Amino acid sequence: MAFFVRTLLLLFIKMILSVSCMEDSSSSAASAALPFDKTCPGSPAWTHAKCKMTVKFQQPCKTVISEINLRLTSPKWTDPHNRGTYTQLSSSRISPNHMLVKGSRLTGDGKYTDLFTFYTIEKSSSSSSEQCEVNACSESQVFSILDFSTNYCNLRNLYCNSKDGCAPVEYELDHEEIYVDCHQNKKQNCISAVISG
């Protein structure tokens, strides 16, 4: 009888430890960065233009996301790339260190809608100040090969600063772009509308 009770007790302890390990594992997974492709919007078109890049900011992610969201939603801001129409689809914190913004942009001529995402990864510099790394991704939703940097501009115009020729809503963002899969990336194409008043 004592042997049977001891065996049951050991099995119970193992079960508790197993559950604890699973919780620790899921917690670690929640705080780990998602693979780049998991945060891209995707497209129904097998062949389509896109831009995937990592953007490193000197400012904290909350500042970066705040400026991006302001440009997405503020009536005071005008898209300098042929006056396209941006729409914020969602903006949420998906883990303690990661935020995800989803949006769309209708081209100025009203013909095409692209989808894009910004996925943040909070960083700490050697000086202990917060910095932000963002996986940014924009994809055309129809068959396309050449987009004349439109997907690139979809992203860049939401964080570019006054030195780039852009008009920030509230925050000047210092940034460095690292192109992952973004072959059409002409900065001069992004500022193509005369903005007045």
H-state helical runs in 87-161: 150-156
Which two structure tokens, joined as six digits, stand for 7? 């065996």
- CB–CB of 145/49 below 8 Å? yes
pLDDT at 16: 39
pLDDT category, 34, cuts 50, 70, 90?
confident
How many residues in total does the chain contain? 197
pTM over 0.85: no
- pLDDT higher than 50, residue 20: no
CB-based contacts of 178, cutoff 8 Å, min separation 6: 53, 54, 55, 56
Q: What is the pLDDT of residues 122-171, one digit of tens each?
A: 876 555 567 999 999 999 999 999 999 999 999 999 999 999 999 999 99
- φ, ψ of residue 170 to 5 degrees: the values are -140, -40
Share of the chain above pLDDT 90, in %: 70
What tokens does 106 get? 């209708």
CB neighbour class for 177 (10 Å; exposed up to 12, middle 13-18, buried from 19): middle
